Amino acid sequence: MEARDPELKKELHATLQARNELGADYEPALIESFLEKVEQRMDGTSDRETRRKLAEQRMAVARGARTPEAPEGFGERFGFGIISLVAAVPLTAIAVGQAGLEGLIVCWLGIVAINAIHASRSRGRLPRKRRQSSDWEG
């Protein structure tokens, strides 16, 4: 078995040696101590990984790249608008044919609401323009 972490291997060896010297009465305390060290090591590793990923994301944003959750931009919004208008034609005809003016109003309120929701979600995920020092001055 090959140890991935030489420090933990040393800690385990020391814990086993202490167990042999102290006896079985101290085994629970020794195991708990070793497990705490393993947890600290894991926390440190996950913290480093999290910081590394965050730094990568910040660098990508600083270089002007889109974040993974960013929408496609103008093309996606434009395409969604075209599709909703194409769908609106038969929906309007059905609504007017079945319910008259009230159906027309309800139909178009629904279309507008769907487009407004889509636009607000897209706008919330777009990268913000970075402010320059001149933007803050008078």
For 23, 67, 74, 127, the CA distances from 71, given in Å and listed in that order, are 62, 9, 9, 10
Q: What is the DSSP letter of 24?
A: G
CA-only gyration radius of the chain, Å: 30
Question: How many helices (DSSP H) and strands (DSSP E) are in the chain?
Answer: 4, 0
Tell me the pLDDT of the chain (138 aa) as tens digits.
Answer: 455 778 888 888 888 898 888 888 888 888 888 888 888 887 777 788 888 888 888 888 788 765 555 445 677 777 888 888 888 888 888 888 999 999 889 989 988 888 888 878 766 554 444 445 444 544
Instruction: Assign 25 to helix, strand or coil.
Output: helix
pTM exceeds 0.85, yes or no: no
Q: How far apart are the first and last CA of the chain?
A: 67
Domain boundaries, the chain: 6-62, 74-131
- Tell me what pLDDT residue 138 has: 46
- Tell me what pLDDT residue 82 has: 85
- Tell me what pLDDT residue 35 has: 85
